[in-house]
A and B are shown apart, each in its own frame.
Chain A
Amino acid sequence: MKKLMTGNEAIARGAYEAGCLVAAAYPGTPSTEILENVSTYKEIYSEWSTNEKVALEVAAGASIAGARSLAAMKHVGLNVAADPLFTIAYEGVNGGLVIITADEPGMHSSQNEQDNRLFAPHAKVALMEPSDAQECKDYIKEAFRISEEYDTPVLFKVTTRICHSKSAVELGEREEVGIKEYTKNPKKYIMVPAHSKIKHIEMEKERIPRLQEFSNTTELNKIEWNDRKIGIITAGASYLHAKEVFGDSVSYLKVGFSWPLPDKKFKEFAQGVDKVYIIEENEPYMEQYIKAMGILCTGKEIFSVCGEMSPQIIREAILGEKVEEGYSLEVVAPSRPPALCAGCPHRGIFYAMSKYKNKIHVTSDIGCYTLGAMEPLNIGDTVICMGAGISAGIGFDKVNQMAERNRKVFGIVGDSTFFHSGMTGLVDAVYNKSNMVTVILDNRITAMTGHQENPGTGKSISGIESPQIDLVGLVKAIGVKEENIRVIDPYDMDANKEAVKAAMDATEPFVIVTKQPCALIKDVQKRRANLYCQVNQEVCRKCKTCLKIGCPAISMKDGVVSMDTAMCNGCQVCLQVCPFHAIEAFGEEVK
């Protein structure tokens, strides 16, 4: 049976068919749907882990205990998981271990576009790169087999265009491979220097040469001989783009198993064609290797390392064909940046903070609250990575003091991000006597990636009830004094103001926890469906104060402030900021 599937769905299906038993992940675009789909197969234990390092360690432990296991993450997640990656590579596996990295060339929803293929030679783990959904499914099954046969974790690289593109996939049956026996083996599974030294040599002398041999013989690295004037070496989605441009008019070496790279096949292919092009997204990963072999080829001389590959880019670079000009219009469309939703619980506290805009610096973090940095709220000086909202704030604050800037530093972090890697920053802030303020926006969900459960929500990935981690209790346990903690409802502007003022005056680590669920959670939407605000035009003086909160439900149309009452969820932040009491609330909560 053929079914249209995204790459992510196909990866999940492949794991199911391969007899995978344990899967762990932290959500992140474009990888999120992998685990969401895996969790629909009841045969597999799945979990949202606290972060990617935890996810990989869960999967590694499960592998050593004997089960086929996988961990999935977005590209930057592998940075977090790099620590276990580099050492599990030495230890190898018992049950097959596959680590999926979903890279984002073009950065549709990411802070950088690192090319995670480079992790493979660095960590010395096998690497595979499918091109479409069918290959995602087939390769995952092969990845588990390779992992077990060569006693290595397999890094499995996909990209946004593969994760989120649908194409036809032939479904198969699940093969129950069961759980392998676990035998205590300290030399393999306890990495202390004496064991690691032996393991490293073993890898170099045995495993890697075997993998190299496999790379040169496997059909995953496939030569398609056609006309021999042009030969293209390519991998992943770039293969599809190249095929789109050249069809069967040139020869291809499609690399599906890309570490170790197939040196003999490269040589054979290059000798068989007149001119070699390397078409790969982002870094010249294959190109540098091939050039180091002394093979003449063209790659990044004509292709950029930045952004996504496309048929058009290939057509222009190799064939010199300019795109035929389409239509050009004179009327320009205004930008449409993503924005905090109507009723977003982050808005109130941000507005209260914006009143101190020349007295604060804000180190923000990865999540919906990153959008607070946009006009008109303008809350955010920095965004680096998960958890840096707190830790970067510590350093920023120290320097502000040295420079006598007399500005308070506010670090912003969400509930899921706090569990992910914010907690360690807060421990550091307390331990090292930082003056910074930490604002934990607890909206009871991992919102930005599309509403995943997390340790604070009381539910597991499968929707089963789980213990709810007490966020405020945790803050207290870390050592923030009771009098320096404010737990507030961010829809209450008086509470927001009081909390920000108290934070401004604080001389010790200070924490504000806002508690209000994301406005897009289904139950919240149902409960608040009949609530809305409306502008009383007779009272409104058009002062535009309400526009400064950046709510998409409020606009100035034809000189009149109007409210999209269908979009409004009645949070009443606008009502509270209006200096003339011109906004009124209507409706009742649905019980």
Chain B
Amino acid sequence: MTKSMLLVGVGGQGTILVSKILSEGLLEEGYDVKMAEIHGMAQRGGSVTTQIRFGDKVYSPTINKGEADVLVSFEKIEALRYVPMMKKGATLIVNEEEIWPLPVLAGLEDYPQGVMEEINNKLESVVSVNARAIAEELGEPRSANIVMLGLMVKALGIDSIDWISKIKKFLPEKVHEVNIKAFEKGISL
């Protein structure tokens, strides 16, 4: 059975790194894995999406509307934007951090109110945390993405894979300790 996971966020949040760690771990576990990223102008503050599909045999890397088994959003309104990609009953994991897009910053549009209420009302399965706040407590705000990784691993029930070694492989040594803590925090939530 193929699982489809969609990761969305804003350029600079580390969504692609998390996708790489996930894909590599899943491949090692013996799954066939396809990962696709769209990051054209993402470094300039646009939306970033990566799609990971894994199972016995995966052909297409593309996840369609209404097909994602898990949606992982690294930002609140990005969750809003991509909820239609979810299957009914699928799980949303959302970082409650707010990153205002330029039209909002410039006062041309408003950052919507009541996002979490709307999400919690409409969706059956929501895991929400403020990963940024957790990461700040750990002393490294940039490890918020690894907190999210921990949450994903737990939600997908793939905690038997050696994720720590993957984190070590993809991150520089000086941040190993804090990111391992971030991962363990994420998995324990």
Contacts and interface: CB of A to CB of B under 8 A. Distances in A.
Interface of A: 2, 4, 29-30, 108-109, 132, 160-161, 164-168, 237, 240-241, 243-244, 308, 310-312, 323-341, 368, 371, 374-376, 448, 450, 520, 544, 547-548, 550-552, 554-556
Given A161-B62, A243-B60, A244-B59, A552 B102 contact: yes
B84 interface: yes
Nearest to A328: B84
B64 A375 contact: no
B88 A327 contact: yes
Contacts of B60: 237, 240-241, 243-244, 310-311
A334 B103 contact: yes
B53 to A, nearest CB: 9
A4 B10 CA distance: 24
B102 A339 contact: yes
A548 B35 CA distance: 39
Given A310-B64, A327-B122, A161 B36 contact: yes
Contacts of B78: 333, 336
B118 interface: yes
A240 B111 contact: no
Interface in B61-82: 61-62, 64-67, 77-78, 80-81
A552 B37 contact: no
Contacts of A335: 101, 103, 109
A374 B102 contact: yes
B23 A166 contact: yes
Contact of A338 (B42, B80, B108): B42
Nearest to B113: A331
Interface in B105-158: 105-115, 118-119, 122-123
A240 B59 contact: yes
A324 B44 contact: no
Contacts of B100: 552, 555
A341 B48 CA distance: 16
Given A109-B41, A339-B102, 11 more contacts: A168-B32, A241-B62, A312-B65, A326-B84, A327-B86, A332-B112, A333-B77, A337-B103, A374-B102, A375-B103, A547-B105
Interface string B27-48: 1000011111111111111110
Contacts of B114: 331
Interface in B90-105: 100-105
A2 B65 CA distance: 31
B46 A338 contact: yes
B47 A336 contact: yes
B39 A164 contact: yes
B10 A326 contact: no
A132 B35 CA distance: 11
Nearest to A557: B100
A167 B24 CA distance: 10
A312 B119 CA distance: 25
Nearest to A326: B66
B84 A334 contact: no
Contacts of B27: 2, 4, 168
Nearest to B44: A338
Contact of A166 (B35, B41, B107, B118): B35
B37 A371 contact: no
A537 to B, nearest CB: 18
Nearest to B123: A327
A332 B77 CA distance: 8
Nearest to A336: B101
Contact of A161 (B47, B61, B65): B61
Given A326-B88, A376-B108, A166 B38 contact: no
Nearest to B79: A333
Nearest to B86: A326
B113 to A, nearest CB: 8
Contact of B83 (A4, A308, A329): A329
- 8 tightest A-B contacts by CB? A109-B40, A312-B64, A338-B46, A338-B44, A244-B60, A338-B41, A336-B101, A326-B66
Given A326-B86, A547-B107, A556-B107, A337 B101 contact: yes
A528 B65 CA distance: 43
B176 interface: no
B81 A333 contact: yes
Contacts of A325: 66
14 contacts: A2-B27, A161-B62, A164-B39, A166-B34, A311-B62, A323-B64, A327-B84, A327-B123, A331-B112, A333-B77, A334-B101, A338-B41, A550-B102, A555-B100
